[in-house]
Chain A
Amino acid sequence: MIEAATTALAAIATPEHFMFLCAGVILGLAVGIFPGLGGIAGMSILLPFLYGMDPISALGMLIGLVAVIPTSDTFTSVLMGIPGSSASQATVLDGFPMAKKGEGARALSAAFAASLYGGLIGALVLTLFVLVARPVILAFATPELFMLALLGLSMVGVLAGKSLAKGIVACGLGLLLGSVGGAPATGEFRMNFGIDYLIDGVPLVVVGLAIFAVPEIVDLLRNQGAISDTPRLGKGWRQGVKDVWQNKWLATRCAGIGCLVGALPGLGGSVVDWIAYGHVLQTTKDRENFGKGDVRGVIAPESANNAKEGGGLIPTVLFGIPGSGSMAVFLGGLLLIGIDTGVNMVGEDLDKTYVIIWSLAIANVVGAAACIILARPIAALTTIRYVYLAPFMIMVITFAAFQATRDWGDIAALFLIGLFAIYMKRFGWPRPPLLIGFVLADPAETNLYQAVQFYDGFGWMLRPGVLIILVATVLSVWFGARYAQKAHGTGDITTGSGQSENLRPQIVFAFILLLVFVFGLYDAMDKNFLGKVFPMTTAIVMLAFVGYALVTLLRGKKDSAVAYDTEADQAEGPDRAASAEHFVLWFAGLVAVTYLVGFFLAMAAFFLAFLHFKAEAKPLRNIILTASALAFLAGLGHILTLNFPGGLLQNAFDLPYPFN
């Protein structure tokens, strides 16, 4: 080990390696700052250049890119409320409220410091862990992975907010949404309405953007003004770093969690930030401020998601089995530069493994430094009047969403799920549990089914690993229940008490939810047993909880934890520009026009109309803003060699770039 370590250090210490590493970091930053692009896009740009490069330099470049993505994706999560990637969804919950309070600077510096710290701790843990990683990873068999999925689902307890029943239903919605598409055991298509797009299931990026970004954009538009309440950015830079230092044990624990969960293939790294967020909620006493801008809610997911990347490297290099999309491309990169993955990486090639791990640590430092330099100018965006920012934000999220599968369906799904999320927010159905359910639907279903088959029934329930995770799950549920009883707002609760006289709107929404689960049940009916058992069970359990919520509402219990509506009784006040539905229609218009004339032209029309009618911009200003946005879009598409989704017009005629 010592010998491998010295060889690795000598390889890393060359200026050439460092240079390529920095190049990777810069590329990663440029890509990662845009929501939804992240690792896979960056890697794909990089791969063709790697062919024939010197392995150590190529490795530096690859690692630089991987390392910086979970740092740079924080910008939009904190400043705009748009999750930059699936790794920083939980950061939105507290980071964005901080930005709204004018503490954007503090939130960002805490996030970067936590990323840096988490990345370093991750590298430290990995240096030792890699030596024993193979048996540890092999010890996590399908039963343990299933139990870990359950543990993740138990986080719903703390993320549910006021009403546990509503949290569970939201999670059930996620589970159902996650089981759309081919069933893992039988390959049958579930709930796809005969639509080709849904054969794949709905992409995670689309769901994440739809449930967090869309309602946020609509809300900000209605409030008028800028994102930040105060025109100044606040000092807070040093405070953010201090915050991390004061919570270093929390950050250390979360980094450990990130490492471990990231290292387990088959669970999916996208849930790491939520587990960390749930962890901080469960282990702190004063939780009143979570969801309203508590800096610990930023530190926990950010320290975990950087450590996760390191963890994710382990199954990739040791087993040749990548845990995420970006790791899959990373694996391709390793193959190209002639690094054989497998047991050899802890044997004769241990030095290469150390080059990878320590490059990751160095890249984390470089990446965090670069982000801090960039933070100030980027944070200034939060002081711009939102009505000017909104079309750009809508452009960015639709662009990001359709990167998922580059299908018009991505944009339609973004709109429909976003619409749903707007009402979930209004009626106090918490959205984080939906995302957890969505992410864990497949690991839970697949691993349970396979565990039952591999171990001939339920004998696996007595495996020590299963019991340990079971205890952790029970504890998590217990903490969660205690937390729910305290009934403090979390995650989703906006302003106001949420009590209202008129219950009708929320009754209608609860009824729609009921119909969704009835449909899930109906759709499952004609499937094979193994294809239907999961969605069917979910639907039946959820029908009970929705039924409970609906009955409570129908009885007119206005003060129950279930009843919640931010605006049923409010008339259109002077502080509200227009109804949510008004902006939904704008968005619907964009989707429809995209279907007709394609994304690029639709965006142009949307910008001109929105800036004219909503921002009341002067024609010259309008044209300049629209032109720069479109130029930016065309440039980005060109650099990333991506095409925009076409519409009926593009089907009929061949148009030149970027109108195709």
Chain B
Amino acid sequence: MKRLLAFAFTALAVTGLAQTPARAVDFTGKNIEWIIPFGPGGGSAAWAQFLAPQLAQALPGKPNIVIKYVPGGGSTKGANLFAARAKPDGLTILGTSGSTQFPYLLGDKRVQYEYKDWNVVMGSPTGGVFYVSPKLGLKGPQDMKMLKGKSVKYASQSPTALDLVPLLALEMMGLPTKAVFGMKSRGAGRLAFERGEVNVDYQTSSAYIKNVTPLVKEGKAVPLWSWGILDDKGELARDPTFPDIPHWAEAYEMMHGKKPRGPAMQAYKAFVAAGFGMQKMLFLPKGTPKDIVDAYRAAAKQVVTAPDFAKKAKKVLGDYKQVVAKEAEAGLKTAITVSPKSKEWVRDWLTKRYKVKF
């Protein structure tokens, strides 16, 4: 037995020590840790799970990409962890979502990360669909008027997360809203909806397609609006993935007979652009050498331009164009820029309505 063990040890030693360190960008045999600052089961998880193996294939040396879920603090926990700990060696990457951007944009004191420090590899735009329980009596967007005065309950991750958009939308519509915070993922929010603990919910596009459309077919959920996207003129337009679902401003008009306006509408548009235009982004940490950044960008480009990518992606990521290379840098700039006026308005509102201390 002892001899057998000794043999095994030696064999392992030979394979272990024969490995020479690599100099050029080569991730052969490496484990790359992809931090997702949410629990598994939400949109960000699906996004990472879909991209990780393809990215791993495209990176030099075909490394392992291991997704590490670090939920908490409305996604600031995972991002802080990345900012504090990730070494610029390309072995730790971060996938952020709008929920990571919002606290940053709003100057949340939990934020200990700086977007401008990081190197963006790619960005994935997305949208989201807001749906309600059939118990509210609506059959679809055509019944929007019936929503007036109904009290709604919403399971939220945090008021400064991407959930800011639904909370703001509900507020502007004048609906009495009760938000329960501390959900570990949007998936947990969906489960609360399915249990009947809340009567409204929203999911980002990929999670909506995968998990909510079956509920809609069964008559257990009624989609009312999508968040919409900003067109070239900066106006709200329908989400290309959900051409049959009205965008939020349309729904508002159906409900109140007039278009939403004022500083609240400006803020809504700004945060939809920031939160959904580049909703998910992939980052390398501060100070990552250019050759590693380039290797990642090339790999990302290779992945999204592969012939069958669009077809596969439609099901998981929705019908959106993935943003890579120079475009990603421009997109990042838009995503982290909100006019001071809109920012101030939202901060005031959050403090008054949800007692958020800035």
Contact = CB atoms under 8 A, between A and B. Distances in A.
Asked if A and B bind, the verdict is yes
Interface of A: 44-45, 47-48, 50-51, 138, 141-142, 181-182, 184-189, 196, 199-200, 265-266, 319-322, 325, 328-329, 331-332, 335-336, 340-344, 377, 380, 407, 446, 449-450, 453-456, 624, 627-632, 634-639, 641-643, 656-658, 660
By size class, the interface of chain B is 35 or more
26 contacts: A48-B53, A51-B53, A138-B195, A138-B196, A142-B197, A184-B182, A196-B84, A200-B70, A319-B211, A320-B41, A329-B67, A332-B40, A332-B49, A336-B49, A343-B215, A450-B182, A450-B197, A453-B178, A454-B153, A454-B180, A628-B9, A629-B9, A631-B10, A641-B64, A656-B21, A660-B21
A355 B329 CA distance: 46
Interface string B15-27: 1110111000000
A628 B6 contact: yes
Q: Which 7 pairs between the two chains have the least Cβ-Cβ distance?
A: A635-B12, A631-B13, A187-B73, A328-B40, A634-B16, A628-B9, A453-B180
Contacts of B5: 628
Contacts of A446: 182, 184
Contacts of B62: 48
A84 to B, nearest CB: 19
Interface string B42-78: 0001100110111011000010111101101110110
Contact of B180 (A187, A450, A657): A450
A142 B192 contact: yes
Contacts of B57: 51
A156 to B, nearest CB: 26
Given A343-B215, A641-B30, 5 more contacts: A48-B53, A182-B72, A340-B210, A631-B13, A641-B29
B6 to A, nearest CB: 6
A660 B184 CA distance: 35
B243 to A, nearest CB: 23
A404 B313 CA distance: 32
Contacts of A329: 67
B72 A377 contact: no
Contacts of B191: 265, 319, 321
B77 A187 contact: yes
Interface string B198-218: 100000000000110011001
A199 B19 contact: no
B9 A380 contact: no
A187 B74 contact: yes
Nearest to B76: A187
Nearest to B109: A188
B214 A344 contact: yes
A534 to B, nearest CB: 12
Given A48-B64, A632-B9, A181 B72 contact: yes
B6 A141 contact: no
Contact of B198 (A187, A320, A454, A642): A454
A658 B76 contact: no
B236 interface: no
B49 A335 contact: yes
Interface string B326-350: 0000000000000000000000000
B135 interface: no
Contacts of A624: 6
Contacts of A630: 13
A228 B342 CA distance: 71
B46 A200 contact: no
B304 to A, nearest CB: 17
Interface string B78-94: 00110011000000000
Contacts of A377: 1
A322 B17 contact: no
Given A196-B85, A331-B40, A47 B53 contact: yes
Contacts of B85: 196, 407
B158 interface: yes
